[in-house]
């Protein structure tokens, strides 16, 4: 008997019958894991001091970890004990893989089979094709994540041990923590200044950036690239747009940050030229939505903040660990706009036509994102004395589950912290899923069971 | 022989044959009027001092007047002579009516008939229905504008003469100038502090607000309301959306500004309660896109700036004197989003279905607007030391031809002023028209000849 069994009368059947919609199950699952994480982090043993952390810091940290965001009000390393940090790491792993993916895996491990309902739920979260072999997909997701994290952990641990003379146990812990944090785009570090100390170290900067990109491409794209990277002509629309838009944003972002910050004495200014490019690249990777930093974000120029806002809002690939409206949504809308400007009736990507409903779905995701960010920014502006620059940055960072910060989150009053928590939750679960869970939808929509359409959002 | 005659060999025919697209004619027409205005304002007699104003102030002022925006770098009254102010007034009137409307009127007056090409051009600008009696439409636009402006001028002149003891000649000039400026949503005043001195005077505040709303609804909606206001069930989709969204934004905006600024000692704070509501209403009207102010915009709270940014970006009605992406575009996108969230395949407004191409067009207008504002804000941020609040406000104000300002435009370096000029021009002519003029479009699109579709943008 499993959580996801559909046998009537079973525990799973009872649980599922209370939730009529996949959205409610996903929202409920994330909320349950956050509640468990909050309870664990509120224990006295979770802090270094041995005093209970308090509900709000525990809730914010647990939400930030499960939603793989990284915005925090207390510094991870001095504040939380090893127990607390292990809890955070597990929450990141659960949140990164996704609640339904884990539940499905659990069901598979226990019973070896899945009911139709569980299949639909897992498909809604992993956004796999209808009819695909779900069991194989889930297994590949988990194996791929663990293998990638292990490789990165080994590289980082060796570097911390050999390059920074960390004792072996500490080096391994640092390697594992930052590997899981990077691959899952979680944005948590064990250093209070982020990764600024490693700005000139390619053995840390490049593997971490690579892990963030890999984890943020989204599993469907990664698997297609793994099996088909030599034949770009055969790629799906999803993979074409994800790879193309990602490459354009990474190249453009690297140039932009490098040029804008080149002479800024508080960021790239004092660095050697080749390090400037590497740091510019890292800074361009992190908005999608790694959330780590090798330069002081609060010291960046205002136009760099705006560029970061835009990159964060766009985010990374669909059905992975990245947040934002997703590069596919952004790319599709760009194609739609271009077709309209050119006076063409159809929207073609490569040699395939993009269906009308997908265009409308992309539009809805982008508009919902704009609306949520605008409402969140307005509300937070009314609560704090900070200017739009910083408030918008923090709101977009929360909504897009990025975790970069100009430093205002720890200073926010409790209602402002609650707003950040809500934004992180909506951002990770997805506005459409939240909306569907609110039961405002009349019918089940096809994009909960995608067919031949590229994934957006 | 007229400018718009299509007889081959005629002057008009030669002029038109050089421009293959309606967009090029409209862009060229606006540019020509701006050039003439700049030349006139650069004359020594245009300034009070009798010294030439210089090219950049003359160009910015002429562009601001023709594009009915109101952003300025020199104060209108002390700087410009009566000659200069008359030039500005004429430029506002030409810009407000629209270049093609005036040219068509001219052609009608001279020849009494219009060629097919001229008809298409005028339809592209006035966005009238294909097959409608264009001559009658143009005549109604001009008569309606002049009658409205005359009535408002009389009201204001009487008030200035009786309530403020202005001498008759001065009272009439003030009345005429502010009537034309209000009805055409031009944002120019002859007082350096805007209309702050009239904050408690309903005889000035309410007529001016009413004129801005009337002029900003757009002529097609005004005419439908004039002939059919008793029967809302018969209204077109255009009128339904324009009236509904406008009413919602005005009520919501009034409440928002009144509440947010209620205790602000530098804006509404010192005023009596009933005046607060009136000033809140005026402040909610002006972003669409009147551009006048009865409270100090630079002293408003940051969240009021953000709300103003959003209202300015949305703007007013299509095919009138207002700017922004237009309430129809905003309303249509909201309907599309709502239909998608509800899981409905069709987008219905009232009892009519909104065609797919119109949805795509609305999306394109909104995305182009976001892109232009983002690019303009980024560029301006890189030029000046101001924060995002002020820079974004000024860029949106220019693009949406509003003219409200937190005060940074006069301080901008010349490249920044040129950017404001370009934004005003694109905002007034319309990004789609500019794009079409750039000849990037393959085919003539149907929305240059609208059929049964609601107007967006
Ligand atoms: K993150
Ligand atoms: K204006």
Assign B451 a pLDDT band (cuts: 50, 70, 90).
Answer: very low
Mapping DSSP to helix (H, G, I), strand (E, B) and coil, where does residue B348 land?
Answer: strand
The rounded distance, in Å, linking the Cα atoms of B100 and B29 is 8
Q: Please tell me which residue of chain B has the smallest CA distance to A369.
A: B337
Which residues are bridge partners to A97 per DSSP? none
Query: Which residues from B are below 8 Å from A342, CB to CB?
Result: 440-442
Average pLDDT, chain B: 85
From the CA of A47, how many Å to the nearest CA of chain B?
Answer: 37
Token reading at A14: 């009872």
Check if the beta carbon of residue A332 is closer than 8 Å to that of residue A303. Answer: no
Q: Region A148-159: what's the mean pLDDT?
A: 96
**Residue-level pLDDT at B196:** 92
Which residue out of A366, A377, A381, A432 would a mutagenesis test of the B interface target, given it has the greatest number of B Cβ atoms within 10 Å? Answer: A381
Which of residues B253 and A110 earns the better pLDDT score?
B253
- Chain B interface includes A355 (CB < 8 A): no
Nearest CB to B341 within list A356, A359, A364 = A364
Count of other CB atoms within 10 angstroms of residue B431: 20
- Is A445 a residue whose pLDDT tops 60? no
- Chain A interface includes B116 (CB < 8 A): no
DSSP code of residue B287: I
C-alpha distances out from residue B291 to A31, B202, B218, B314, Å: 46, 18, 17, 14
Over the stretch B232-268, which tens digit does the pLDDT of each residue have?
888 888 888 999 999 999 999 999 999 999 999 999 9
CA of B70, nearest ligand number: 2
Assign A408 a pLDDT band (cuts: 50, 70, 90).
Answer: very high
C-alpha distances out from residue A363 to A25, A165, B337, Å: 25, 51, 7
Which of residues B313 and A220 earns the better pLDDT score?
B313
Mapping DSSP to helix (H, G, I), strand (E, B) and coil, where does residue B352 land?
Answer: strand
- Gap from CA of B361 to ligand 1 centroid (Å): 34
The complex's ipTM works out to 0.88
Which residues are bridge partners to B47 per DSSP? B80
Q: For chain A, positions 134-163, list CB contacts with chain B under 8 A.
A: none
Q: For chain B, positions 370-399, list CB contacts with chain A under 8 A.
A: 374, 377-378, 381-382, 387-389, 391-392
- End-to-end CA distance of chain B, in Å? 33
Assign B447 a pLDDT band (cuts: 50, 70, 90).
Answer: very low
DSSP code of residue A290: I
Residue A317: alpha-carbon gap to chain centroid: 9
Over the stretch B171-202, which tens digit does the pLDDT of each residue have?
999 999 999 999 999 999 999 888 999 999 99
Residue B150 burial (10 A CB sphere; 0-12, 13-18, 19+) = middle
- Gap from CA of A185 to ligand 1 centroid (Å): 5
CA of A403, nearest ligand number: 1
DSSP code of residue A454: P
The per-type count for chain A, helices as H runs and strands as E runs, is 19, 2
From the CA of A361, how many Å to the nearest CA of chain B?
Answer: 7
The rounded distance, in Å, linking the Cα atoms of A235 and A224 is 7
Which of A51-55, A163-167, B300-304, B349-353 shows the lowest per-residue confidence on average (mean pLDDT)? B349-353
**Residue-level pLDDT at A448:** 35
- Which residues are CB-neighbours of A236 under 8 A, at least 6 positions away? A224, A454
Nearest CB to A340 within list B334, B364, B382 = B364
- Gap from CA of B184 to ligand 2 centroid (Å): 8
Residue B77 has, within 13 A of its CA and on its CB side, a CA count of 11
The rounded distance, in Å, linking the Cα atoms of A377 and A379 is 5
Token reading at B96: 């407000």
- Is A450 a residue whose pLDDT tops 60? no
User: B141, B66, B180, B139: which is closest to B429 by C-alpha?
Assistant: B66
Helix axis angle, B356-383 relative to A327-342, nearest 10°? 110
Mapping DSSP to helix (H, G, I), strand (E, B) and coil, where does residue A226 land?
Answer: helix
From the CA of A313, how many Å to the nearest CA of chain B?
Answer: 13
- Gap from CA of A290 to ligand 1 centroid (Å): 4
Token reading at B225: 């309301």
The rounded distance, in Å, linking the Cα atoms of B184 and A339 is 34
Which residue out of B314, B335, B341 would a mutagenesis test of the A interface target, given it has the greatest number of A Cβ atoms within 10 Å? Answer: B341
Q: For chain A, positions 432-451, list CB contacts with chain B under 8 A.
A: 432, 435, 440-445
Which of A385-394, B81-90, B311-320, B337-346 shows the lowest per-residue confidence on average (mean pLDDT)? B337-346
Residue A309: alpha-carbon gap to chain centroid: 15
The rounded distance, in Å, linking the Cα atoms of B265 and B253 is 20
Check if the beta carbon of residue B99 is closer than 8 Å to that of residue B125. Answer: yes
Over the stretch A254-279, which tens digit does the pLDDT of each residue have?
999 999 999 999 999 999 999 999 99
Assign A9 a pLDDT band (cuts: 50, 70, 90).
Answer: very low
Element (H, E) at B349: strand B348-349
Between CA B88 and CA B93, with CA B89 as vertex, the angle to 5 degrees is 115
Which of A449-453, B100-104, B213-217 shows the lowest per-residue confidence on average (mean pLDDT)? A449-453
The rounded distance, in Å, linking the Cα atoms of A46 and A52 is 7
- Give me the residue label for tokens 């009127």: B105
DSSP-derived pairing of the beta strands A352-353 and B348-349: unpaired
Over the stretch B281-340, which tens digit does the pLDDT of each residue have?
999 999 998 999 999 999 999 999 999 999 999 999 887 888 999 999 999 999 999 888
Average pLDDT, chain A: 85
- Gap from CA of B394 to ligand 2 centroid (Å): 12
**Residue-level pLDDT at B105:** 64
Residue B133 burial (10 A CB sphere; 0-12, 13-18, 19+) = exposed
The rounded distance, in Å, linking the Cα atoms of B284 and B287 is 6
- Is B3 a residue whose pLDDT tops 50? no
From the CA of A440, how many Å to the nearest CA of chain B?
Answer: 7
DSSP code of residue B130: T
The rounded distance, in Å, linking the Cα atoms of A404 and A19 is 35
- Is B390 a residue whose pLDDT tops 60? yes
- Is A52 a residue whose pLDDT tops 90? no
What percentage of chain A exceeds 70 in pLDDT? Answer: 83
- Gap from CA of A282 to ligand 1 centroid (Å): 14
Which residue out of A359, A360, A386 would a mutagenesis test of the B interface target, given it has the greatest number of B Cβ atoms within 10 Å? Answer: A360
- The verdict on a CB contact (< 8 Å) between B435 and A341 is yes
Which of residues A347 and B92 earns the better pLDDT score?
B92
The rounded distance, in Å, linking the Cα atoms of A455 and A442 is 22
From the CA of B27, how many Å to the nearest CA of chain A?
Answer: 17
- Is B4 a residue whose pLDDT tops 60? no
Query: Which residues from A are below 8 Å from B387, CB to CB?
Result: 302, 387-389
- Give me the residue label for tokens 């029967």: B231
- Gap from CA of A431 to ligand 1 centroid (Å): 17
The rounded distance, in Å, linking the Cα atoms of B241 and B249 is 12
Check if the beta carbon of residue B322 is closer than 8 Å to that of residue B312. Answer: no
Check if the beta carbon of residue A307 is closer than 8 Å to that of residue A257. Answer: yes
- Which residues are CB-neighbours of B94 under 8 A, at least 6 positions away? B33, B66, B102
Mapping DSSP to helix (H, G, I), strand (E, B) and coil, where does residue A176 land?
Answer: helix
**Residue-level pLDDT at A343:** 80
Handedness of CA B141, B147, B149, B152 (dihedral sign): negative
**Residue-level pLDDT at B21:** 61
**Residue-level pLDDT at A18:** 45
C-alpha distances out from residue B16 to B118, B432, B446, B452, Å: 9, 20, 21, 28
Token reading at B207: 């007529």
- Gap from CA of B432 to ligand 2 centroid (Å): 20
User: B393, B210, B377: which is closest to B290 by C-alpha?
Assistant: B210
Count of other CB atoms within 10 angstroms of residue B175: 23
Q: Please tell me which residue of chain A has the smallest CA distance to B385.
A: A302
- The verdict on a CB contact (< 8 Å) between B440 and A342 is yes
Range ranked top by mean pLDDT from A439-443, B142-146, B430-434? B142-146
Between CA A18 and CA A25, with CA A22 as vertex, the angle to 5 degrees is 55
The rounded distance, in Å, linking the Cα atoms of B186 and B65 is 7
**Residue-level pLDDT at B25:** 78
Query: Which residues from B are below 8 Å from A344, CB to CB?
Result: 442
- Which residues are CB-neighbours of A359 under 8 A, at least 6 positions away? A332, A333, A336, A347, B360, B363
- The verdict on a CB contact (< 8 Å) between B442 and A387 is no
- The verdict on a CB contact (< 8 Å) between B368 and A445 is no
């Amino acid at each position: 008997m499993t959580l996801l069994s559909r046998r009537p009368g079973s525990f799973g059947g009872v649980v599922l019958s209370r939730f009529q919609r996949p959205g409610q199950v996903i929202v409920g699952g994330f909320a349950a894991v956050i509640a468990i994480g909050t309870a664990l982090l509120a224990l006295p043993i979770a802090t270094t001091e041995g005093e209970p952390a308090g509900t709000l810091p525990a809730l914010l940290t647990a939400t930030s970890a499960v939603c793989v965001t990284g915005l925090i009000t207390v510094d991870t390393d001095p504040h939380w004990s090893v127990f607390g940090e292990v809890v955070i790491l597990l929450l990141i792993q659960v949140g990164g893989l996704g609640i339904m993916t884990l539940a499905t895996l659990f069901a598979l491990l226990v019973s070896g089979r899945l009911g139709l309902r569980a299949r639909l739920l897992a498909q809604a979260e992993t956004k796999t094709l209808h009819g695909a072999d779900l069991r194989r997909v889930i297994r590949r997701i988990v194996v791929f994540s663990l293998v990638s994290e292990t490789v990165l952990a080994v590289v980082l641990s060796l570097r911390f041990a050999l390059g920074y003379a960390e004792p072996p146990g500490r080096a391994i812990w640092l390697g594992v923590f930052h590997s899981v944090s990077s691959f899952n785009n979680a944005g948590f570090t064990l250093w209070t200044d982020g990764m600024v100390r490693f700005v000139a170290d390619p053995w840390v900067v490049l593997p971490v950036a690579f892990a963030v990109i890999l984890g943020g491409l989204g599993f469907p794209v990664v698997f297609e690239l793994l099996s088909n990277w030599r034949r770009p002509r055969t790629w799906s629309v999803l993979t074409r747009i994800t790879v193309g838009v990602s490459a354009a944003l990474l190249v453009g972002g690297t140039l932009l940050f490098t040029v804008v910050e080149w002479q800024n004495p508080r960021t790239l200014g004092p660095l050697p030229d080749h390090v400037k490019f590497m740091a510019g690249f890292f800074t361009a990777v992190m908005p999608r939505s790694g959330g780590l930093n090798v330069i002081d974000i609060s010291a960046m120029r205002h136009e760099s903040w705006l560029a970061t806002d835009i990159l964060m809002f766009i985010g990374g690939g669909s059905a992975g660990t990245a947040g934002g409206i997703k590069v596919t949504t952004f790319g599709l809308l760009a194609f739609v706009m271009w077709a309209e400007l050119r006076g063409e009736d159809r929207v073609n990507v490569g040699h395939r036509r993009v269906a009308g409903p997908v265009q409308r779905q992309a539009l809805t995701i982008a508009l919902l994102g704009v609306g949520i960010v605008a409402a969140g920014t307005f509300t937070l502006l009314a609560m704090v004395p900070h200017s739009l620059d910083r408030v918008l940055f923090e709101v977009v960072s929360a909504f897009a589950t990025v975790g970069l910060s100009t430093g205002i989150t720890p200073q926010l009053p409790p209602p402002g912290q609650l707003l950040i928590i809500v934004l992180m939750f909506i951002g990770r679960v997805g506005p459409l899923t939240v909306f569907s869970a609110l039961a405002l939808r009349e019918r089940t929509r096809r994009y909960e069971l995608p067919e031949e359409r590229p994934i957006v959002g």
